[in-house]
A and B are shown apart, each in its own frame.
Chain A
Amino acid sequence: MSYIHPYQDTEFVLKNLVNFDQLCADAELDEVNLELAVAVLEEAGKIGADILAPLNRDGDENGAKLGTNGVEQTPGFKEAYQQFAEDGWLSLSVAEAFDGQAMPNTLSVAVNEIWHSANMAFALCPMLSQGAMESIAHHANPELQQAYLPKMASGEWTGTMNLTEADAGSDLAGVKTRAVPEGDHYRLTGQKIYITWGDHQMTDNIVHLVLARLPDAPAGVKGISLFLAPKFLPDEAGNPGERNTVECLSLEHKLGIHGSPTCVMEFKEAVAYRIGEENKGLACMFTMMNHARQTVGLQGLSISERAYQQARQYAKERLQGTRRDGSRIPIIEFPDVRRMLMLMKSGTEAMRALALTAAAEVDYANYTSDPAGKARHKARGELYTPIVKGWLTELSQELTSLNIQVWGGMGYVEETGAAQHYRDARILTIYEGTTGIQALDFIGRKTLFDKGEALRLLLQDMDLVVDELNTVSGLPPGLCENYTQAVADGREAAQWVLEHAGSDAHIAGAASVNFLMLFGYLCGGWLMVKSALQARSMLDTGEGDKAFLQAKLITAQFYCQHFLPRTRACLATVKAGSESMMAMPEDQF
C-alpha cells in the first residue's frame, strides 16, 4: 500500500501555527525559511514514498534474524539505509561543526513524520542515532565528539541507547551493569535488554550509549553514569578496528515492528568511555529522553496517518449495497464509515498540529536569548512532552484500530496490511516510558511541582482563542461551545488536582492518565480551533487553496463535536478520585 506525505497540512501548520519564518528569523537562521522547508519536505517525501514505504511490508514479513555474524536485517534495508545516509538525511539537525545541516528541530520533526509513516521499523534506526548524537553533542568531551559525531551525522555509523535491564525497566534504580576504570577508559560488564537496532549489518560500526555503575557509586539512580561503547574500536585513523566485546545474544519475538531488531546485548569487559560526569548519567540520558519521547509521540501521528491513508483508499474502492438504478455504493458514502474516516482525519491533523507546536518550543527555548523567555519556552516544551508522548500514542491505538474496522474482515486478515499498522502501533504506548509514566510526569513534575503555573499559562493562551471565537463570524456551528466547555473542563480538572492531590497518597496516580488525556484532547482542540480561525480568515481574503481550507473548517468542526466532549468524561473520572480504584482487597483480584 502506497504512502504520500500530506505536504499541504504540514505546510499549513508550519506557516500558521508554528510561524516557521518568524522562528527562523528569531533564531538568525538566515538561510532557512518556509520555502526551504517545503523543498526539504518534498525531497524527503520522495525518499519516503519511493524507497522506504515499499519495504515496510517486507520488514513485517521477513523481520531481522540472528545469524552467526550477528543480526541480519531485512533484505533491502541495507541498500535503503545507504541511500538514506548518502543523501544526508541523518545530518539534518546536527551542528555544522560536525558536518550537519543545523536545521531547526521543528523541521526535523516534520521530516521524521515522513520516515515513520513510510516505515516505522526502519526509521527507528536513524531515530536512535539522532538521540545518541544529541547526547554526545551535549555531554561528551570534545575528543569523543570529534571521533564519533561526524561519522554518525554522515550515517556511516549508527547509535543505540542501552538503558533497560531485566530488573531495571521503568525504575532505572536497579541498573546492575558495572563499569571498571582502566587507564583512559572503562571496562563494561552486564546485560541490557530491549535494545532497538542493537546490532545489524547496515553500517561498519555501531555506537552504544550505555547506563552503568562505577565500583564506588551510590545506590539508586544517583549512582548511574553514561558510557559510550563502540562495536568496533576506532583505530588511529578513526576507522573501525578491533572488535569490542559487546554482542547481541538473542532477539525478541514481538507483536509488531518485526523489521526493527530488539536485542539482548551482552557487554563482557567491553571498552567504553564515560560521557558526562560520574554518577550523572541519568541527567545526560534525560537530554535525549525529552527528544526521544516527543519522537515516539510523533510515531503515533505517523502510523495513524499511514493507517488513515489506507482506510481512505479502501473506503473509496469497496462497493457494498446497491442503489435503485443498480449501481453499487462505495462504503465511503455510509455515515458510519464517514465517522471513522473523520475521526482518523481530524485526529491525525490535531496530532500533527500538536507535535509541531511542541517541536517549535524546543527551538524557541534553544534560540531565545532573553533568560525569562528561554525559561518560559523550556517550561512549555517540557509540559508538552508527556502530552505528545502519552496522548498521541494512545490515540494512535484507536485510529489504527479504526483502519481495520473500515476494512472489516479484510482488515483482520494479514494480506491487506491493515493489521500491521495496528500491531506496529501497539509498542508506542509502552517504550520510552509507558503512558502511566508519562501521566505521572505530567501530573507530578509538570503540574503539582510548580503548583500548576505552566498549566495556568497554557490555559491562558487557550482563553485567548475563546475570546477570538466570540468575535469571528462565518465559523461552523459546534466549535465555540464545545471548545469553551473543554477549556473549562481543563481548568476545573487542574484546580481539583491541585486541591486534592495532597489529601490522599493515591489521588495523583489515580487521576493521572485521565488528566493527561483530558489535556491531550484539549490541546488538539485548541490547535484545531486556531487552524479553523486561520482558514476562515484566509478564505475571507481569498488566500490559499479554497478546497483545502474549507476541508480544514469541517475537520475542526468534527473534532470539536466528536473528540472534545471526551474532556467531560475525563474530568468526571479525574474527580472520582482513587476510592473505588484502591478500595478492593488484593485477594479479590
Chain B
Amino acid sequence: MKILVPVKRVIDYSVKARVKSDQSGVELNNVKMSINPFDEIAVEEAIRMKEAGTASEIVVVSIGVEKSQETLRTALAMGADRAILIKAADTVDTDIEPLAIAKLLAKVTEEEAPGMVILGKQAIDNDMNATGQMLSALLGWSQITYASKITVDGDTLNVTREVDAGLQNITAKLPAVITADLRLNEPRYVKLPNIMKAKKKPMDIKTPEDYGVDVSPRLTITSVVEPPARAAGIKVESVTELLDKLKNEAGVLS
C-alpha cells in the first residue's frame, strides 16, 4: 500500500509569535519554521507502517512557498521515499485556505492512488482543523480524525480516536483519510547519514495550475491582534463575596 502524507511548514513551536505592526498577520519572515508537529507524527506513523510491512511507499506532499522543500527534506530524512512540492505562494505571508489545500490534495491523491492519506489533525499556526475532513469529503473516502492508535488488517482499519468523552474504537474500510493526534506516536530523531541521503531522494516541483486548482483566498483577514494581557487577580474576603462577583461582575452565574 502506498501512503500519502501531506505536511505543512509552520512557525516553529518554540518561537514566540509576534503580530506585525500593521496587524495584517503574524511575523513569519526570518522566523524559524519547522514541520507542523502533528504532520510529523503522521510521517512517523507512515514510516512505522512501512517498517511493519503494511506500507510499501511513502509520498510526502507540501503546498506553500519554495522553502517548504526544507520541510519535505525533514520528512525524507525521517524515512519518506519521495516528495512533491506544490509551489502555491511566493511569500510566507500568503496562507492557502484549507479548501484549496484539500482540492489540491484530492488531485494528488487521484494521481498517486495511495491506499491511505494520513495527516496532522490541524496545523499549529491557524488551528483550522479542516483539511483532512474536506479532503475525505472531496474523495468520498472514510474519514477518521484524532487517531491515537492505528492498526491495519487487510483492507480494514482499526483506529482509536481521542474524543471528549475518552477513547473511541472504530473500524473503517480502506481507502481512508486519517488525521493524527498528539499521542499517536513519538516521532523519531533523524539519523545523521539520513540527512545526507534525503538530499538525493526525488522531489517533484509542481504548481496549482498543473492541477487546475484556484488557490485564491475566499476569506479576508481584517486584522490580527495580540490577545489582551491578563489582568492581575484579586483576593476575595468570603465565599459570599465570590458568589456576588461571579453573579454581578463576571456574569457567569445567574
A residues neighboring B (CB under 8 Å): 4, 7-8, 31, 35-36, 39-40, 42-43, 46-47, 50-51, 83, 86-89, 91-92, 101, 544-546, 548
Contact = CB atoms under 8 A, between A and B. Distances in A.
A87 B192 CA distance: 6
B238 interface: no
B240 interface: no
Interface string B4-41: 00000000001000000000000001111010000000
B196 A544 contact: no
Interface in B68-84: 70, 73-74, 77
Contacts of A47: 189
B99 interface: no
B126 to A, nearest CB: 22
Contact of A83 (B32, B73, B189): B189
Contacts of A91: 192-193
B77 A39 contact: yes
A88 B191 contact: yes
12 contacts: A31-B196, A40-B192, A40-B195, A43-B77, A43-B192, A47-B189, A50-B189, A87-B190, A88-B191, A91-B192, A101-B193, A545-B29
A434 B195 CA distance: 38
Contact of A39 (B30, B73, B193): B73
Contacts of A35: 70
Contacts of B30: 544-546, 548
Given A43-B190, A46-B189, A50-B189, 7 more contacts: A36-B195, A39-B74, A40-B192, A43-B77, A43-B192, A87-B190, A88-B194
Can you list the 10 inter-chain pairs with the closest CB atoms, starting with the nearest? A88-B192, A545-B30, A87-B191, A43-B190, A88-B193, A88-B191, A39-B195, A87-B189, A89-B192, A40-B195
B183 interface: no
A35 B30 CA distance: 14
Nearest to B34: A42
Contact of B196 (A7, A51, A86, A101): A101
B18 to A, nearest CB: 9
A43 to B, nearest CB: 5
| Most chain B beta-carbon neighbours within 10 Å: one of A35, A83, A86 | A35
Contact of B199 (A4, A31, A89): A31
Contacts of B32: 7-8
A432 to B, nearest CB: 26
Contacts of B34: 42
Contacts of B77: 39, 43
B192 A92 contact: yes
Interface residues of B, number: 19
B241 to A, nearest CB: 21
B189 A545 contact: no
Given A39-B74, A544-B30, A101 B189 contact: no
Given A43-B189, A47-B189, A545 B14 contact: no
Contacts of A545: 29-31
Contacts of B190: 43, 87
B253 to A, nearest CB: 30
B232 to A, nearest CB: 8
Contacts of A544: 30
A173 B75 CA distance: 55
Interface in B191-245: 191-196, 199
A86 B73 CA distance: 20
A4 B192 contact: no
A342 B41 CA distance: 39
B203 to A, nearest CB: 14
Nearest to A8: B32
Nearest to B198: A39
Q: Which of B32, B190, B191, B194 has the most CB of A within 10 A?
A: B190
Nearest to B193: A88
Contacts of B74: 39
A91 B29 CA distance: 34
B226 to A, nearest CB: 16
A300 B31 CA distance: 29
Contact of B192 (A7, A50, A101): A101
Nearest to A111: B192
Contacts of B196: 31, 36, 101
**Which of B29, B31, B77, B189 has the most chain A CB atoms inside 10 A of its CB?**
B189
A47 B195 CA distance: 14
A309 B29 CA distance: 25
A43 B14 contact: no
Contacts of B194: 88
Residue from A8, A35, A43 with most neighbouring chain B CB atoms (10 Å): A43
Nearest to A87: B191
A39 B70 contact: yes
> Which residue among A39, A47, A83, A86 has the maximum number of chain B CB atoms within 10 Å of its CB?
A39
B14 A4 contact: yes
A36 B70 CA distance: 9
Nearest to B199: A31
Contacts of A89: 192
Contacts of B31: 545
A47 B189 CA distance: 7
A421 B136 CA distance: 54
B213 to A, nearest CB: 29
Contacts of A546: 30
Contacts of B189: 43, 46-47, 50-51, 83, 87
A46 B190 CA distance: 9
Contact of A43 (B29, B70, B195): B195
A88 B193 CA distance: 6
A298 B2 CA distance: 47
A50 B191 CA distance: 15
Contacts of B199: 31, 36
Nearest to A100: B193
Contacts of A43: 77, 189-190, 192, 195
